[in-house]
Amino acid sequence: MKHVKYGKCVKCGRTYSAVPDLTTCACGGILDIVYDYEYVRAHLTKEKLAARPERSMWRYRELLPVADSTEPTPLRVGWSPLYEEPRLAEILGLKRLWVKDDGQNPTASLKDRASAMAVAKAREAGASVIACSSTGNAASSLAGNAAAAGLSTYIFVPSRAPKGKVAQLMTFGATVISVQGSYEETFELSKQAIDRWGWYNRNAAINPYLSEGKKTVALEIMEQLDWQTPDYIAISVGDGCTIAGLWKGLKDLYAIGFIDRLPRLISAQAAGCCPLNRSIETGEDWRPMEENTLADSIAVGVPRNADKALMAIRESDGLVVNVSDEEIMAAQKLLGRTCGVFGEPAGVTGAAGVKKLCEAGVIGEDNTVVSVVTGNGLKDVANAIKSCGEPISIPSDMDRLLAAFAERRITVD
Amino acid sequence: MKHVKYGKCVKCGRTYSAVPDLTTCACGGILDIVYDYEYVRAHLTKEKLAARPERSMWRYRELLPVADSTEPTPLRVGWSPLYEEPRLAEILGLKRLWVKDDGQNPTASLKDRASAMAVAKAREAGASVIACSSTGNAASSLAGNAAAAGLSTYIFVPSRAPKGKVAQLMTFGATVISVQGSYEETFELSKQAIDRWGWYNRNAAINPYLSEGKKTVALEIMEQLDWQTPDYIAISVGDGCTIAGLWKGLKDLYAIGFIDRLPRLISAQAAGCCPLNRSIETGEDWRPMEENTLADSIAVGVPRNADKALMAIRESDGLVVNVSDEEIMAAQKLLGRTCGVFGEPAGVTGAAGVKKLCEAGVIGEDNTVVSVVTGNGLKDVANAIKSCGEPISIPSDMDRLLAAFAERRITVD
Question: How far, CA to CA in Å, does B255 sit from each of A92, B60, B62?
Answer: 49, 15, 13
* Chain A 193-252, residues with CB within 8 Å of chain B CB atoms: 193, 196-197
What is the CA B393 to chain-centroid distance, rounded? 37
Q: Which residues of B touch A75 (CB under 8 A)?
A: 81, 83, 340
Between B173, B389, B394, which is nearest A177 by CB? B394
- In percent, the amount of chain B with pLDDT more than 70 equals 100
Q: Give the end-to-end CA distance of chain A in Å, rounded to a whole number.
A: 64
Hey, is the C-beta of B149 within 8 angstroms of any chain A C-beta? Answer: yes
pLDDT of residue B135: 77
Question: Going edge to edge, which strands form the sheet with B152-158?
Answer: A392-394, B175-179, B152-158, B129-133, B200-201
Q: Is residue A297 within 8 Å of residue A320, measured between CB atoms?
A: no
Nearest residue to B295 via CA among B319, B334, B324: B324
Sequence-distant (6+) residues with CB within 8 A of A42 are: none
Angle, helices A381-388 vs B163-171, to 10°: value is: 50
Q: Is there a contact between B377 and A171 if contact means CB atoms under 8 Å apart?
A: yes
**B128: DSSP letter:** S
Q: Is residue A96 within 8 Å of residue A368, measured between CB atoms?
A: yes
Residues B353-377 have a mean pLDDT of 98
- In what helix (H) or strand (E) does residue A7 lie, and over which residues does it extend? strand A4-9
pLDDT of residue A182: 87
Question: Going edge to edge, which strands form the sheet with B319-323?
Answer: B82-84, B96-101, B368-373, B232-236, B264-270, B319-323
pLDDT < 70 positions in chain A:
413
Sequence-distant (6+) residues with CB within 8 A of B191 are: B133, B203
Hey, is the C-beta of B145 within 8 angstroms of any chain A C-beta? Answer: yes
pLDDT exceeds cutoff 70 at B336: yes
Q: Is there a contact between A378 and B168 if contact means CB atoms under 8 Å apart?
A: yes
CA angle, B26 then B29 then B30, to 5°: 115
Q: Is residue B159 within 8 Å of residue B177, measured between CB atoms?
A: no
Cα(A336)–Cα(B169) distance, integer angstroms: 9
Cα(B136)–Cα(B182) distance, integer angstroms: 13
Output the DSSP codes for B162-178: -HHHHHHHHHTT-EEEE
pLDDT of residue A413: 67
- In what helix (H) or strand (E) does residue A117 lie, and over which residues does it extend? helix A111-124
Give backbone dihedrals phi and psi of A150, rounded to 5 degrees, phi first: 80, 20
HEC string of A133-193 equals ECCCHHHHHHHHHHHHHCCEEEEEEECCCCHHHHHHHHHCCCEEEEECCCHHHHHHHHHHH
A375: three-class secondary structure by DSSP: strand
Cα(A405)–Cα(A411) distance, integer angstroms: 7
Q: Which amino acid, residue A276?
A: L
Cβ atoms within 10 Å, residue A87: 15
Hey, is the C-beta of B176 within 8 angstroms of any chain A C-beta? Answer: yes
Sequence-distant (6+) residues with CB within 8 A of B212 are: B33, B64, B65, B117, B245, B248
Cα(B286)–Cα(B283) distance, integer angstroms: 9
Output the DSSP codes for B270-322: ETTB-HHHHHHHH-SPP-------S-GGG--SS-TTHHHHHHHHHHTT-EEEE
Cα(A386)–Cα(B2) distance, integer angstroms: 49
pLDDT exceeds cutoff 70 at B413: no
Q: Is there a contact between A193 and B106 if contact means CB atoms under 8 Å apart?
A: no
Q: Is residue B307 within 8 Å of residue B326, measured between CB atoms?
A: no
Between B157, B167, B392, which is nearest A176 by CB? B392
- In what helix (H) or strand (E) does residue B339 lie, and over which residues does it extend? helix B325-339
Hey, is the C-beta of A126 within 8 angstroms of any chain B C-beta? Answer: no
Cα(A182)–Cα(A299) distance, integer angstroms: 9
- In what helix (H) or strand (E) does residue B52 lie, and over which residues does it extend? none
Hey, is the C-beta of A337 within 8 angstroms of any chain B C-beta? Answer: yes
Q: For testing the chain B interface, which of A142, A155, A172 should be mutated: the one with the most B CBs within 10 Å?
A: A172
Q: Is residue B166 within 8 Å of residue A392, measured between CB atoms?
A: no
Residues B48-76 have a mean pLDDT of 96
Q: Is residue A236 within 8 Å of residue A94, measured between CB atoms?
A: no
pLDDT of residue B273: 97
> Considering just the CA atoms, what is the radius of gyration of chain B in Å?
21
pLDDT 10s digits, B257-303: 999 999 999 999 999 999 999 999 999 999 999 999 999 889 999 99
Longest CA pairwise span in chain A (Å):
75
Q: Is residue B125 within 8 Å of residue B200, measured between CB atoms?
A: yes
pLDDT exceeds cutoff 90 at B175: yes
Sequence-distant (6+) residues with CB within 8 A of A340 are: B74, B75, B106, B107, B143, B144, B145, B146, B147, B148, B149, B172
Quickly state the pLDDT bin for B373 (edges 50, 70, 90). very high
